Amino acid sequence: MDRRIVITGVGVFSPVGIGFDAYSQALLAGTSGIRPVARFQTGEFPGRASAEVPAFKTRDYVPEEHKKAIKVMSWDVQLGVVAAMSAVVDAKIIPSLSLGKAAEAGAVPSSAQRVPPTRLGVSFGCGNIASDPGELSTAYSLIIRDGHVDYKAAGTELMKGLTPLWLLKYLPNMPACHVSIFIDAQGPNNSLTTGDAASLEAIGEAYRVMNRGWSDVMVCGGVDAKVNVLSLVRCQLLGWSTVKDGAPETLARPFEKSRSGFVVGEGAGSIVLEGLEHALARGATIYGEVFGFGGGCDARGLNGVDPDGRGVRNAMKNALRDAKMAPSNVDAIFANASGLVEGDRAEARAIARIFGAGPKAPPVTATRSMIGQTSSAGGILDALAALAAIKAGTLPPTLNYDVPDPECPVNVVKPGASAAKKLDRILINNGGFGGQFASLVVGRYHG
């Protein structure tokens, strides 16, 4: 159980930038990725802001011999695949892996050390993928009669109107499947679908798989892309996304008094986990170390968050126990807070209960103020943000924290605040609807 696990590759596709360097710079500078919805027309729909990933070419991140597979990838699957493949290239674990010139790290030399396929696994978090309505609309227009489905027509028209592999575009295990095929990863392969907790749980599981000696290298992370009609409507109907008007970049206000919900975002991130000795033996670049993971649950079904945040509190407690750390060992917290009135308050209470309130409590920051609520990708995007912060020795700010909410007793990092005294170990929280929460402790690697 005491095997040390380090992070040796990173890949990120976020609303504030593609690639770890761009992402780090944007976050640390307090850049907002929230803008008016650009992907499609929204008509009279009240939530008109979102955080979208800038354009890229998927084929630049897929090995030449597998380019045909892109046709069976939904947008979510593509995002997950490009993030994971970027991390794989960055980690240099697959010799002669050559992606397009746009892929940030370029080609891997043929002299790189190949991880044995059965010792290489994938663990990814993924959201419930919404099907593309444009693809379905022709067939659907032929099967609707007087506002009702004509089932006799449906069987025939759907068979004619959709492609043979249509279903595969939308299965949440597909990012991990495609990646396993591209890099011949025959080790454990899982896809976590626990809503907002999914990608931290995927990292946590990869960490456990390695701890029990089942693999030497795990590609992990997560993806979610809820900037689509169905998901935007769901978030609106559930009262989660803000309907406020105003400049888009001011709409996401975690922990702030006037917060009124989150802004829907999208993104994907990936890290490569590797046993320390394995990484040292091949001279890998080490971005950080994973110290502990824990989960917890509100146990309230779908009835909203526990007011005292017991799910996230249990997750934090379990992560600290796993990391064999006292709360005072944590230098900063990347909060789950997305701007939900009750959710932010519950998490703040849980943090205060473990870490104390007042000036001595660790600084807390909420990247959702910049990248929106990225759900199943939120945990991995924060893990990457934490690595960026550790490298730079400074924390990304929480935007729009104008009037502190006294009911959220945490030390929120404002733009322009002075750097934390020491930034070695960061705790990350993620979770949400359904009450499932996860926490991860990552930190600076000290030899």
Residues 286-345 that bind other proteins (CB under 8 A): 294-303, 310-311, 314-315, 318, 322
Nearer to other proteins, 301 or 447 (CB): 301
Nearest-approach distance from CB 143 to other proteins, in angstroms: 7
Instruction: Return the residue of 42, 250, 260, 394 that touches other proteins, per CB under 8 A.
Output: 42
CA distance 222 to 176: 9
Nearest-approach distance from CB 191 to other proteins, in angstroms: 5
Asked whether the beta carbons of 73 and 88 are under 8 A apart, the reply is no
Q: What is the β-pairing status of strands 120-126 and 217-225? A: parallel
The tokens 């209470």 sit on which residue? 349
CA distance 286 to 292: 17
Nearer to other proteins, 246 or 301 (CB): 301
Nearer to other proteins, 312 or 330 (CB): 312
Count the site residues for other proteins by CB under 8 A.
Answer: 105
277 binds other proteins (CB under 8 A): no
Query: Site residues for other proteins, window 141-160 (CB under 8 A)?
Result: 141, 143-144, 147-149, 151-156, 158-159
Q: Which two tokens stand for residue 243?
A: 């309907």
Nearer to other proteins, 217 or 399 (CB): 217
Nearest-approach distance from CB 114 to other proteins, in angstroms: 14
Instruction: Return the residue of 27, 89, 115, 122 that touches other proteins, per CB under 8 A.
Output: 122
156 three-state secondary structure? helix
CA distance 394 to 371: 18
DSSP string, 219-274: EEEEEEE--SHHHHHHHHHTT-B----S-GGGS--TTBTT---B-BBEEEEEEEEE
Instruction: Return the residue of 193, 365, 367, 373 that touches other proteins, per CB under 8 A.
Output: 193
Interface segment toward other proteins; rule CB under 8 A; list 105-113, 204-212, 344-352, 366-374 = 204-212
Element (H, E) at 390: helix 378-392
Count Cβ atoms below 10 Å from residue 161 Cβ, excluding itself: 17
Name which of 31, 2, 50, 4 is nearest 388 in CA terms: 31
The tokens 């010792």 sit on which residue? 119
103 binds other proteins (CB under 8 A): no
Query: Site residues for other proteins, window 336-395 (CB under 8 A)?
Result: none
Nearer to other proteins, 181 or 419 (CB): 181
Nearest-approach distance from CB 146 to other proteins, in angstroms: 10
Tell me 302's DSSP state. T
Asked whether the beta carbons of 369 and 261 are under 8 A apart, the reply is no
List Cβ neighbours of 420 (8 Å cut-off, separation of 6 or more): 331, 332, 363, 393, 394, 395
Instruction: Return the residue of 238, 243, 281, 403 that touches other proteins, per CB under 8 A.
Output: 238
Instruction: Return the residue of 174, 206, 320, 364 that touches other proteins, per CB under 8 A.
Output: 174
243 binds other proteins (CB under 8 A): no
Nearest-approach distance from CB 179 to other proteins, in angstroms: 9
Asked whether the beta carbons of 238 and 342 are under 8 A apart, the reply is no
Nearer to other proteins, 100 or 304 (CB): 304
274 binds other proteins (CB under 8 A): no
Instruction: Return the residue of 22, 70, 136, 286 that touches other proteins, per CB under 8 A.
Output: 136
Nearest-approach distance from CB 202 to other proteins, in angstroms: 9
Look up residue 440 and give its amino acid: L
Q: Which two tokens stand for residue 389?
A: 């912060």
Query: Site residues for other proteins, window 56-95 (CB under 8 A)?
Result: 69, 72
